[in-house]
Amino acid sequence: MSYIDLNYKPSENDLICRFFVEPEGNSAIEKACENIAAESSIGTWTELSTMESEIYERLGPHVFEIDTASGEVLIAYPSDLFEPGNIPEILSSIAGNIFGMKAVENLRLLDVEFPEKLARSFLGPRFGISGVREVLGVFDRPLVGTIIKPKLGLNSEKHAHVAYESWVGGCDIVKDDENLTNQDFNPFRERILKTLGMRNKAEEETGEKKIYMPNISAETEEMLERAEFVKENGGRYVMVDIVTVGFSALQTLRKENLGMVIHAHRAMHAAFTRNKKHGISMLVLAKLSRLIGVDQLHIGTAVGKMEGPREEVVEIKNAIVGDWYGLKNTFPVSSGGLHPGMIPALVEIMGEDVIIQAGGGVHGHSNGTKAGAMAMRQALNAAMQAIPLEEYAEKNPELKAALDKWGKP
Amino acid sequence: MSYIDLNYKPSENDLICRFFVEPEGNSAIEKACENIAAESSIGTWTELSTMESEIYERLGPHVFEIDTASGEVLIAYPSDLFEPGNIPEILSSIAGNIFGMKAVENLRLLDVEFPEKLARSFLGPRFGISGVREVLGVFDRPLVGTIIKPKLGLNSEKHAHVAYESWVGGCDIVKDDENLTNQDFNPFRERILKTLGMRNKAEEETGEKKIYMPNISAETEEMLERAEFVKENGGRYVMVDIVTVGFSALQTLRKENLGMVIHAHRAMHAAFTRNKKHGISMLVLAKLSRLIGVDQLHIGTAVGKMEGPREEVVEIKNAIVGDWYGLKNTFPVSSGGLHPGMIPALVEIMGEDVIIQAGGGVHGHSNGTKAGAMAMRQALNAAMQAIPLEEYAEKNPELKAALDKWGKP
């Protein structure tokens, strides 16, 4: 009973996985492929008395391409293997036990092509890029956001004050950091009330729409209650740590559909996405996130404090913004070690449809948060008008101070 | 503002992480440690105008041990940094962005010591080993289970029939596989009804308690509905893919406390636990699972088709069965490529408190499932009486056939 068929032509109902495969020891890649295909679908390590040829014919996967030079392998799985609308089930098949098999030394799920039938069993984003732009009323430039810093430690009042300074300085968006939820030094409900209050004030003063993205990550029911609380108090957004919260709860949040934009932070992803030979690619995580329906997703910066090369970030961006069976798209977010000096390069890489977030790059400004936010917006203005930052900085002292502190990479 | 203090003595309220750290390029490990400590708590990549010395004093972490030879580092975090009862929040801190930082080439969270205050903010298992043994009425030997194989493809009726054969052959436990949930070829509700029906029949015929562990992995609310359905129909157990479902939903399942034993499958864990230099150890995942409150957890086999050396499996076992602030313990499960010939070695490694599961090692038996289950139970009987398998096989033809097919490793 073999799963390798290099003459197989995938059908439109197949789900196709691209793996990098490094077989154990000196064994052939074909042997590893047989093991991967079996374990991720209908088989196991030994012949079964309970197997039926009809099952093998109807549900058996097909390894239809093996590139021995690169170690890249394509496997087609009939979509009937999977439960529609159930991300955990799909991952337990194509990204489950196989990573722990002795038959492989390393194994990486590089990409997944979902058949339309399966893709459309998910909700996808409710807002997408155009919906987010409608909420903000900003249509012709990247959005600028900040993360309140220090990540942890400010009390609710100070948190709200720093948010206010960020908004009036020019940020569209203020978000909590990934590890701030409901700690004693800054309780969730108090923070929401105070920060949304300051948002209203900032909107009045600037005449711009302003966004607060509170981190609601928690046990599912608690998370939903927090989302309800945000909504009741005039919030339009929630943010969630999609990896540490997990796929079932993320699906629940989207399903409950509270009418708020969902911002997805990816803390912990690099535990399994970073090694180029093993684990799961960020591209796959991004596709899953769009299927489930997050409206905004951190995908990397190509510049900044986090690793992730430019080509990879662009590939992920294209996957979440392009057409995909009529699903709405997801707004790419670049965040992590950014500062004003990086904005032109970032806009050049990402285009206009990107949310640029800087935490340290705003609150680390020599003249404080408001000046930092002003510098970010100034850098964006310069980039949009194709004016060199140094030139634009001549008449914009906040930008000048930022460039003086952090330079231009 | 430094986080390194090699004279620091951790307090009983500190959460302590043991990391393996490989700094980027030629930079010093101390520099990487500063970055890790900052990013996982209150800091970022630059000095902040909004930081206050009071926050640094009260919430700052302490890197208090750096072993440059092994790359192992200990960091103590004040427990006030974390939200009690919120696993996603804790992971977004100590296992979040840090894995993606350019400042490290590789980073692995090897172990976490939870302070009592934080550990006791979680429910822990409802049953634990003694509770599970009460349910089954088996107190003096390992439990024997099987996974219905083929993993996918059997219809509900055949699924129930294979389960029945397994029980009457001698298995205590029958479980669904990790990727079987609610597919068209075997719908969840139909499977539950038929399989629990056959469980009742098997209990009557054998006079033993029998367990069925249905895989309820799905979006959170759907998962809870499935659990309710199992309970309403006389089920005593649910199983869940804890990694692909995720921590928030797992906490919800435990919180809802339906009075059923929770069996935890770990599909996908090896995407981040396998590489010895990067990611998160299985030991950490096991501790988190016990905190949340799974009653049974797959921890490896030390023998069989999955990688994971003996010392590591024993370390994990000790972490989930030992005393821990009064939390109940978790029953270790060994599953993956096992067959009767491996049982004596496994019992020698794991002791009596282990659940031994074989899928292929039961249903791959030359004479079918029932004979395969008999062979498993015979091998266990032999091991418990310290009789060599070959000797015991002389009077037990099912065991003999299994040894003839698969040998004794």
Residues A155 and A85 in one domain: no
Q: Give me the CATH number covering residue B63.
A: 3.30.70.150
For residue A150, is the peptide bond before it cis, meaning its omega torsion is within 30 degrees of 0?
A: yes
B143 - beta bridge partners? B355
Question: Chain A partners of B50 at a C-beta cutoff of 8 Å?
Answer: 148-150, 154, 158, 162, 363, 368-369
- Within a domain: residue B6? no
- Within a domain: residue B388? yes
Sign, CA torsion A166/A167/A173/A175: positive
Question: Do the chains contact at B150 and A366, CB–CB below 8 Å?
Answer: no
Q: What is the mean pLDDT of chain B?
A: 96
Q: How many other C-beta atoms can be found within 10 angstroms of the C-beta atom of residue A196?
A: 20
Sign, CA torsion B214/B220/B224/B225: negative
Residues A180 and A83 in one domain: no
Quick one: closest CA in A to B240, which residue? A88
What is the Rg, in whole angstroms, of the alpha carbon atoms belonging to chain B? 23
Which comes out higher in pLDDT, residue A304 or A217? A217
- Within a domain: residue A342? yes
Residue B306 is predicted with a pLDDT of: 62
Question: Do the chains contact at A59 and B152, CB–CB below 8 Å?
Answer: yes
| Distance separating alpha carbons of residues B205 and B202, to the nearest angstrom | 5
- Within a domain: residue B398? yes
Average pLDDT of the residues in A189-205:
98
| Distance separating alpha carbons of residues B333 and B353, to the nearest angstrom | 9
Question: Do the chains contact at B46 and A246, CB–CB below 8 Å?
Answer: no
Residues A26 and A109 in one domain: yes
pLDDT, tens digit, for every residue of A241-272? Answer: 999 999 999 999 999 989 999 999 999 999 99
Q: Is A265 a catalytic residue?
A: yes
- Asked if pLDDT for residue B180 goes beyond 70, the answer is yes
> What are A242's two structure tokens?
């999609």
Residue at A367: amino acid letter: N
| Distance separating alpha carbons of residues B222 and A363, to the nearest angstrom | 43
Q: Give me the CATH number covering residue B313.
A: 3.20.20.110
Residue B44 is predicted with a pLDDT of: 84
Which of the listed residues A79, A95, A119 is the one where a domain comes to its end? A119
Question: Chain B partners of A246 at a C-beta cutoff of 8 Å?
Answer: 88, 244-250
- Asked if pLDDT for residue B408 goes beyond 80, the answer is no
Residues B260 and B185 in one domain: yes
- Within a domain: residue A5? no
| Distance separating alpha carbons of residues A340 and A93, to the nearest angstrom | 43
A62, A149, A269, A365: the active-site residue = A149
Residue A215 is predicted with a pLDDT of: 98
pLDDT, tens digit, for every residue of B113-158? Answer: 999 999 999 999 999 999 999 999 999 999 999 999 999 999 999 9
Which among B59, B221, B252 is the nearest to A153, CB-wise? B59
Question: Do the chains contact at A80 and B185, CB–CB below 8 Å?
Answer: yes
Residue B332 is predicted with a pLDDT of: 98
Residues A134 and A88 in one domain: no
Which of the listed residues B95, B119, B143 is the one where a domain comes to its end? B119
| Distance separating alpha carbons of residues A43 and A137, to the nearest angstrom | 53
Residues B218 and B361 in one domain: yes
Q: Are A36 and A104 in contact (CB under 8 A)?
A: yes
Q: How confident is the model at residue B257 (pLDDT cuts 50, 70, 90)?
A: confident
A62, A175, A194, A265: the active-site residue = A265
- Asked if pLDDT for residue B409 goes beyond 70, the answer is no
Q: How confident is the model at residue A1 (pLDDT cuts 50, 70, 90)?
A: confident
Q: Are B403 and B337 in contact (CB under 8 A)?
A: no
| Distance separating alpha carbons of residues A232 and B360, to the nearest angstrom | 53
Q: Would you list the DSSP string of B144-172?
A: EEEE-SSSS---HHHHHHHHHHHHHHT-S
Which among A102, A103, A219 is the nearest to B248, CB-wise? A219
Which of B268, B366, B405 would you mutate first to test chain A, the one with the most A CBs within 10 A?
B268
Which among A44, A47, A368 is the nearest to B151, CB-wise? A44
Element (H, E) at B356: strand B355-357
Question: Chain A partners of B251 at a C-beta cutoff of 8 Å?
Answer: 219-220
**Domains in chain B, number:** 2
Which of the listed residues B94, B119, B144 is the one where a domain comes to its end? B119
B109 - beta bridge partners? B19, B280
Range of the domain at B38: 14-119
Question: Chain B partners of A50 at a C-beta cutoff of 8 Å?
Answer: 148-150, 154, 158, 162, 363, 368-369
- Within a domain: residue A188? yes
| Distance separating alpha carbons of residues B14 and B116, to the nearest angstrom | 9
Question: Do the chains contact at B372 and A49, CB–CB below 8 Å?
Answer: yes
Residue A409 is predicted with a pLDDT of: 63
pLDDT, tens digit, for every residue of B357-369? Answer: 999 999 999 999 9
Quick one: closest CA in A to B82, which residue? A183
Average pLDDT of the residues in B61-88:
98
Residues B79 and B109 in one domain: yes
**Closest by alpha carbon to B247, among A224, A243, A284?**
A243
Q: Which pTM value belongs to this model?
A: 0.97
Residues A202 and A104 in one domain: no
Q: Distance from A247 to chain B by nearest Cα, in Å? A: 6
Q: How confident is the model at residue A303 (pLDDT cuts 50, 70, 90)?
A: confident
Interface size, chain A vs chain B, as Cβ–Cβ contacts under 8 Å: 353
Residues B72 and B177 in one domain: no
Please tell me the number of Cα atoms within 13 Å of A305 on its side-chain side. 24
pLDDT, tens digit, for every residue of B212-229? Answer: 999 999 999 999 999 999
Residues B347 and B214 in one domain: yes
Residue at token pair 């009042």: A157
Average pLDDT of the residues in B60-71:
97
Quick one: closest CA in B to A339, which residue? B46
**Closest by alpha carbon to B175, among B215, B134, B133, B129?**
B215
**Closest by alpha carbon to B30, among B21, B19, B42, B39?**
B21
**Closest by alpha carbon to A177, among B118, B93, B38?**
B93
Residues A110 and A168 in one domain: no
**Closest by alpha carbon to A253, among A280, A215, A307, A285?**
A215
- Within a domain: residue B9? no
- Within a domain: residue A99? yes
Which residues of B are annotated as catalytic?
A: 149, 265
Residues B296 and B344 in one domain: yes
Q: Are A17 and B127 in contact (CB under 8 A)?
A: no
pLDDT, tens digit, for every residue of A35-91? Answer: 999 999 998 888 888 888 999 999 999 999 999 999 999 999 999 999 999 999 999
